[in-house]
Amino acid sequence: MHKLDPNKLFNIFNASDEAIYEEHNIQHLFQNPYVLMGMVVRGLENYSIIDGMYMMRYKEQYESVRETVKEQFYDRLYSYLLKIDLQKFENIYVITEEYDKMGVFQALDHLLYYYQDKEQYERCAVIKSFEDLLRDTMTPPIYDYNVESLLEELKLKPLQD
């Protein structure tokens, strides 16, 4: 049986994202906060799936390199956050408006707790600043509490006294 090389385990993700975007002439998307945040969210989901697969298939070998692989992968996801310009508010709100709000906050919390455990508090501060910014830019849903319009919307009739 071959020894697992932590530098080659996640080769599926090792192609430079910038290179892929350039190859398809869409490198401008790599500057979009929505795309970058999506890469973080989906990256954590993908990592979880692949980590589980390796644990099931190569448990003994994988355990010896698991933390190294996780660190490398999480560091890459963190680097995507750093590419988002916190000063640009015109697009950043779209992340929580059009994207899975809970998924974004769960991903950021997951990264925050990971770096907290590693005692990398500078990274925690950066991640926390994203959470705060996204919470501040979220617009709360607007509810119409007018009973008649609600009944009409639900195609119901008011009760007669």
Residues 79-99: pLDDT tens digits? 989 988 776 645 554 555 555
Domain extents in the chain: 11-153
Note the pTM of the prediction, 2 decimals: 0.70
pLDDT band of 125, cuts 50, 70, 90: very high
Residues 52-80: pLDDT tens digits? 999 999 898 889 999 998 999 999 999 98
DSSP letter string, the chain: -PPP-TTTTTHHHHS-HHHHHHHTT-GGGGG-HHHHHHHHHHHHHHHHHHHHHHHHHSHHHHHTTHHHHHHHHHHHHHHHHHTS-TT-HHHHHHHHHHS-HHHHHHHHHHHHHHHHHTT-HHHHHHHHHHHHHHHHHPPPPP----HHHHHHHTT--PPP-
